[in-house]
A and B are shown apart, each in its own frame.
Chain A
């Protein structure tokens, strides 16, 4: 029991690790702030392309979305960071993470937005067009608000997934929270920094997860 406490819940080591882990948290949040909006925008554009009337546009979008949903994000990330230099393209860890996550996230957000767009009845757009709204105005003021609202819990769940996925950035030595905690662990030979990081993830994500459940119940009722 004593051993478990000193190995996993060693307050002294946690306090020492805290500055570095918080610095890592800062980088984790920075990744999120860059990668989530990018993924949302990319996903929305891909979804719009995937429901386009132009067959070539539609099929290319669907193929790309399928591709990046099928490639494991860790493989994608390592390929971009460690594989592309062989083609003469060397990226900083942050750029590699931003690009890899953009591709991966966009694909998942695209699937969600596509379901949202398809959930809006065709009569909505027809009513809007019949009053003279252009196709873009119809999309912005009539279709998208409804599409987004219909899939809001799914979008939020995916945001949680993305936040968790940022820990993958540790494999390209980007000093986000997991990387920082792992570093302190290896210096102190103690797992407490990892427990600290896990606790911070939990504190961040648990409220979000609760919020999503509330939304889901409200939409179901």
Chain B
């Protein structure tokens, strides 16, 4: 089979079926169905508290789903026999608050999992770590500690930390929300570059311009459900659902 043919029959990168999650009596996810195809960038929008972060965190089981089924490249993510640590290293995650390890240099932040999870010897891990830092434009900062990096640089190191593990999909939870406006662009540029290189991405964000430029599909969530989805044009120009319309009206002039 040609590579294209293989990709055509390969299972989608990420499949979520009937995902439910409650905190106490509040059902935060009320049955989410979502498929992310290989190389696709799915952009997730929605008001605060609609369950976007919880959905992402269920995908790599930082939160334990109450019900539903998740698969990564056809391999089950949920279920009792799953080695969750091996699955997690195939799913990179980038957090709003960066969460770099403050006691480690940028390079050591990136190499920790390469060494401890993938078991690579230090020289190999460092070579891969430097490649990853280079991809986010921060090879020169390899020896710097997080406290000496700007927010934008920290987030790019966090992206490199996830990228270095060569994940099948990257999950982003508002990667630019904690950044000063002038630093947002660098991070989005790195993400756009990853998209161009064929990375599969699931991105929760409010950066509408990025969605227009880079997203294949936009999903609108409200109250634990996917309310509407479509191409960026469909969602931004002709949203059908009333909740989408009100939400987007608040952002008009910003995108």
Write the nearest CB–CB distance from B65 to chain A, whole angstroms.
16
B88 within 8 A of A: yes
Is A132 within 8 A of B85, CB to CB?
Answer: yes
Known: A131-B88, A133-B116. A126 touches B99 (CB 8 A): yes
Most chain-A Cβ atoms within 10 A of its Cβ — which of B92, B93, B158? B93
B95 within 8 A of A: yes
* A contact face: mostly helix, strand, loop, or mixed: helix
Most chain-B Cβ atoms within 10 A of its Cβ — which of A128, A146, A149? A128
Is A129 within 8 A of B88, CB to CB?
Answer: yes
Encoded as 1 (CB less than 8 Å from any A CB) or 0, chain B from 92 to 125 comes to 1101010111110000000011001100000000
| A129 / chain B contacts, CB cutoff of 8 Å | 62, 85, 88
Most chain-B Cβ atoms within 10 A of its Cβ — which of A123, A124, A132, A133? A132
B211 within 8 A of A: no
A173 within 8 A of B: no
Q: Which chain B residues numbered 72 to 97 have a C-beta less than 8 Å away from chain A? A: 85-89, 91-93, 95, 97
Write the nearest CB–CB distance from A132 to chain B, whole angstroms.
3
Is B103 within 8 A of A123, CB to CB?
Answer: no
Which of A126, A137, A145, A149 contacts B95, CB < 8 Å? A126
Is B85 within 8 A of A123, CB to CB?
Answer: no
| B55 / chain A contacts, CB cutoff of 8 Å | none
B161 within 8 A of A: yes
Which of B92, B101, B161 contacts A124, CB < 8 Å? B101
Which of B62, B89, B95, B100 contacts A132, CB < 8 Å? B89
Query: Range of interface residues on chain B?
Result: 20 to 34
Is A141 within 8 A of B88, CB to CB?
Answer: no
Closest B-chain residue to A123, C-beta based? B99
Which of B60, B91, B103, B113 contacts A133, CB < 8 Å? B113
Q: Which chain A residues numbered 110 to 162 have a C-beta less than 8 Å away from chain B? A: 121, 123-124, 126-134, 137, 141-142, 145-146, 149
| A134 / chain B contacts, CB cutoff of 8 Å | 85
Closest A-chain residue to B171, C-beta based? A130
B162 within 8 A of A: yes
Known: A126-B95, A132-B88. A137 touches B116 (CB 8 A): yes
> What's the Cα separation between A141 and B116 when bound, in Å?
9
Closest B-chain residue to A149, C-beta based? B103
| A145 / chain B contacts, CB cutoff of 8 Å | 103
B44 within 8 A of A: no
